[in-house]
A and B are shown apart, each in its own frame.
Chain A
Amino acid sequence: MPIEINTHYGQIDISNEVVATIAGGAAIDCFGIVGMASKNQIKDGITEILRKENFSRGVIVRQQDERVEIDMYIIVGYGTKISEIARNVQQKVKYTLNQTVGLSVDAINIYVQGVRVANP
C-alpha cells in the first residue's frame, strides 16, 4: 500500500519500496552502521550483510491505520555505543523522510542483528 500525501494540486503516492530505500540510505550515512541485515534470514540464524543495492530489504515499512512504522535491521561496528547509534539512526531516518517526502513516521524500530568485530 503506497503512502498517500494530498496536496493542493493533487495526490502524491509514494511506494513503500521508495520509503524503505530512502530510510536505508539515510541509515547507512550514520556512523557506526556497517550494514543492513535482511529480515528474512533471522530464522536461519544467519545474518548476512546486505549489499548496497539490496539494503532496503532490511527495512520494512508498515502501515497500520494512519500510523507509519518502520522496522530496520542493522549491523553495527564493534566497540561503539550501540544504543546511541540506534538513536542516531532513528533521528536521521525520521528527519530524512520528513525532508525528502514530507512523511512523518510514527515509529522507527531498530533491530540490531549483528555486531561486526574487525581486527583491532
Chain B
Amino acid sequence: MVTSLDGKRFAEMVIQGANHLAANAKTVDALNVFPVPDGDTGTNMNLTMTSGAKEVQKNVQAHIGAVAASFAKGLLMGARGNSGVILSQLFRGFSKSIETKAHISAKEFAAAFQAGIESAFKAIMKPVEGTILTVAREAAKKGVQTAKTEKDLAAVMEAILGEAKTTLSRTPDMLPVLKEVGVVDSGGQGLVFIYEGFLAELKGEELPDTPSVMPSMDELVNAEHHKHVQDFMRTEDIKYGYCTEIMVRLDRSKPSAKTFSEERFRSDMSRFGDSLLVISDDDIVKVHVHTERPGDVLNYGQQYGSLIKLKVDNMREQHSAIVGETHHALVGENEAEQAQKEKKDYGVITVAMGDGIAALFKSIGADVVIEGGQTMNPSTEDILKAIEETNAKQIIILPNNKNIVMASEQAAELAEEKVAIVPSKTVPQGMAALLAFNPGQPFDKNVQAMEEALGRVKSGQVTNAVRDTNIDGISIKKGDYMGIYEGKIVKTSPTLLEASGQLLSHMIGAEDEIATVIYGKDVSKEQVNELVSYIETNWPEMEIEVHEGRQPLYSFILAVE
C-alpha cells in the first residue's frame, strides 16, 4: 500500500511511463487518423515523453514538487505535435498543483490529475470529444472520486487507468472519423500506455512485454487503407496496385522457418511494396502489404511454411470505382494515342445528315462530320469523341441544328481542349460559317467572324409532311411538301416544285446574289432541273449552285445569300 508519494518514486513512475510508451510508439502511430493522418502521434508523444523523462533523470530528488516541475519543463521543451503539446499541458497543470509539496497523498495525487485537465482545457478553443483530452478528463474525474475513500495511490492510479481504458474504447462512438476507420484514438492510446507505466511502478510490477491493448490486424489494415485512400487523388498515382494479405503457418521443418525472425521477415517483405504490416506469434505470421507483384509475396511467404489464408485485391480497380474514374482512364488511353501525333492548331466539327453534305463540309474545311440531324441528335459523348478525333488544340463546333447546340455545349465543358460553339441552326448556316473560317486568324476572331456569317445566309428546307396537321395556321395534309424558312413553315403544296418555288420567293430579296440547292437522296435529277430552271426564270440575276447532299427527309436544302 502506497499512501505517500515522494519525488524519487515519482521519477521512477515517469521513466516507466516513458519506456512503456516508447515500446508501443509504433502501435500508436498505426492508430493515428486524427487530426492529421500522417501516422506520427506515437512518435511525437514518445519524443515529448522522452524529453520529459530526461529532464526528470537530471533532477532526481525527494521533493516531488521539484521533480514534477522538471518533468513539466522537459515536456514543454520537447513538445512535438498536437498530442505532445496536449501532454505537456496536462502535466504542466499537474505539476503546478503539487509545486510546493515534498510528498503527496492519494487525494493530492488525484487532484493533480484534475488540475492537469483544467489547465489543458484552458488552452483549447474548440475541444473535440473522443480525443486524448476526453480520455484524460474522464480518467481524472474517476481518480478524484476514488481518492475520496481510498488512501492507496496504487488503487487510485488503477482506477484512473481503468477509466482511461474504458473511455478510450468509447472514443470511436464519439468521433465519427475513428468509427469510420475502426480504430480508437491514437493520442488517448498513448496516454493509456503512460498511465500503465505509472501503475506498474506504483504496484512494483514488471510491465508485460507485449502491449496490453494491441490493436488487431484488422484495425491496422483499416488504418493503413484509410491513409491510402486519402493519399491518392488519382488512380494513376497508385504505385503498388495489389493489396495482398497472407497468413503463413510456420513449418519448422523448412530451413528458413527454423530461424524465423519477425525482424528479418519484415525487412525482406518491405522490399516488395509499402503499407507493410507483419504480426507473428509462435506458429502463424500474418502479413499485409501493398505490392505490384503479389506473386513474389506469396513465394516468399511459402518459404516459411504453408499459406493458410490468401487475399489479393486490385486496388486500382477499387480506387477507380471509388473515384468514378473508369471513364477517365479509358479516355486517357485514347489521349495517349492521340498525343503521339502533333496537335494541330484548329479543328472544326460539324453535324450533318447525308454523305453528300458530309463530303461538302469536308471539302470546305471541316475535320470531322458527325452524322446526325433533326431526327438523330448526336450525344454529348459522340461530340466528345469527335473532339478527340480532331487532335487539335482549339476546336470549333457547328451543330447545324438547334437541338444539338445543348449537347455541343456540354461536350465543350467536358473537353480539356479549348472549344467554341458557333450556334448554326441549319446546314446553310453551318456552311456560311465554315467559309468565314480562316486558320490564320486567332481563335476569338474566328469565332466572331463565323457567328457573324450565320446571319448573312437565309436557310430554307423542303420536306414531306408525315401526317395531317395544323401548324402556324397552315393546314397540312400527309404527303404534302412543306417549305420551311428559318424553322417556320411558310408554304405547303402537293407538288415539290410549287412548295420549293414558293419558299424561295419568301427567301430571295433584292440584295441576294447566290442561291444554293442541296438535293436529297429521294429527289430525281429531273426534279432538280425543274427547280433550277424555275429559279432561272423567276430570278434571272441569281447565281445558282447545285450540290448533291444525299440527305434523307429533306428533299431540298436551300440557301440564299
Contact = CB atoms under 8 A, between A and B. Distances in A.
A26 B39 CA distance: 18
Contact of B88 (A8, A81, A92): A81
B85 A8 contact: no
B79 A81 contact: yes
A104 B100 CA distance: 50
Contact of B128 (A29, A34, A102, A118): A29
A43 B86 CA distance: 33
A80 interface: yes
A29 to B, nearest CB: 6
Contacts of B441: none
Interface stretch (B117-125, B159-167, B529-537): B117-125
Interface stretch (A15-23, A62-70, A83-91, A105-113): A83-91
A31 B80 contact: no
Given A29-B128, A32-B89, A92-B36, A77 B122 contact: yes
B233 A31 contact: no
A29 B126 contact: yes
A76 B36 contact: no
Contacts of B133: 31
Interface string B109-150: 000000000011011111010000100000000000000000
Given A31-B85, A31-B89, A118 B125 contact: no
Nearest to B331: A8
B92 interface: yes
A90 to B, nearest CB: 11
A13 B36 CA distance: 25
Contact of A34 (B85, B92, B123, B328): B123
B376 interface: no
B262 interface: no
A61 B93 CA distance: 36
Contacts of B92: 79
Interface string A1-21: 000000011100000000000
Contacts of B119: 79, 120
Interface residues of B, number: 31
A100 to B, nearest CB: 11
Interface string A30-52: 11111100000000000000000
A92 B40 CA distance: 13
Contacts of B76: 79-81
Given A33-B125, A77-B89, 8 more contacts: A8-B416, A31-B124, A77-B124, A80-B85, A84-B80, A91-B38, A92-B36, A120-B96
A92 B36 CA distance: 6
Contacts of A91: 36, 38
Query: Considering the complex of A and B, which 3 residue pairs feature the smallest CB-CB distances, nearest first?
Result: A77-B123, A81-B79, A118-B122
A92 to B, nearest CB: 6
B81 interface: yes
B82 A88 contact: yes
Contacts of B123: 31-32, 34, 76-80
Contacts of A102: 233
B85 A81 contact: yes
A38 B84 CA distance: 28
Contact of A88 (B81, B125, B413): B81
A33 B36 contact: no
Nearest to A88: B82
Categorize the interface residue count of chain A: 20 to 34
B363 interface: no
B253 interface: no
A73 to B, nearest CB: 14
Given A29-B128, A77-B124, A120-B96, A85 B89 contact: no
A92 B92 CA distance: 24
A117 B133 CA distance: 20
Interface string B394-422: 00000000000000000001101000000
A43 B190 CA distance: 43
Nearest to B127: A31
Given A91-B36, A92-B36, A120-B96, A84 B85 contact: yes
B77 A81 contact: yes
A28 interface: yes
B82 A31 contact: yes
A98 B92 CA distance: 34
A116 to B, nearest CB: 8
B35 interface: yes
A5 B85 CA distance: 35
Nearest to A9: B414
Contacts of B79: 80-81, 84
Nearest to A85: B85
A28 B36 contact: no
A99 to B, nearest CB: 6
Given A10-B414, A92-B36, A28 B85 contact: no
25 contacts: A8-B328, A8-B414, A31-B123, A34-B123, A76-B123, A77-B122, A78-B123, A79-B76, A79-B123, A80-B79, A80-B85, A81-B77, A81-B79, A81-B88, A84-B80, A84-B81, A84-B85, A88-B81, A91-B36, A92-B35, A92-B36, A92-B82, A95-B35, A99-B230, A118-B122
Contact of B413 (A10, A31, A35, A85): A10
A102 B230 CA distance: 11
A10 B413 CA distance: 6
B414 A79 contact: no
Interface string B32-71: 0001101000000000000000000000000000000000
A27 B126 CA distance: 10
A32 B123 CA distance: 5
A41 B17 CA distance: 45
Given A79-B92, A84-B81, A31 B414 contact: no
A95 B38 CA distance: 10
Contact of A80 (B36, B80, B81, B88): B88
Contact of A79 (B77, B89, B413, B416): B89
Contacts of A118: 122
